[in-house]
Amino acid sequence: MLQLIEIVVAAAILLLGVLTHSGPVALLGGGFLVGIAILNILAPEGGSIYRRSLTGYTLAGLFVLGGVVLYHFAG
């Protein structure tokens, strides 16, 4: 149930960014969704939730950071 709430909140942030034409906010919502997806993809291989969260949200942070840099130079 907690993951469903996380997905709804992340999707709401993404939708807010899209509707307000704010690239960084949309990237943040997308980054949260990427982090949750990676966390769930790594679940079958095992490992602690801490390690999976660290991996997932680190990659998501890199996604957001790279997207914001590209948004800055493209806009």
Q: In this predicted model, what pLDDT tens digit does every residue of 9-61 receive, in sequence order? A: 999 999 999 999 999 999 999 999 999 999 999 988 888 989 999 999 999 99
Q: What does the pLDDT average to over 71-75?
A: 89
Nearest alpha carbon to residue 12 among 28, 29, 37: 29
Round to whole Å and give the CA distance between 70 and 5. 30
The position carrying tokens 């095992």 is 46
Quickly state the pLDDT bin for 2 (edges 50, 70, 90). Answer: confident
Task: Tell me the C-alpha to C-alpha distance, in Å, between residue 9 and each of 18, 36, 69, 74.
Answer: 14, 12, 24, 28
Written as six digits, the tokens of 50 are 């801490």
The pTM of the full predicted model, rounded to 2 decimals, is: 0.86
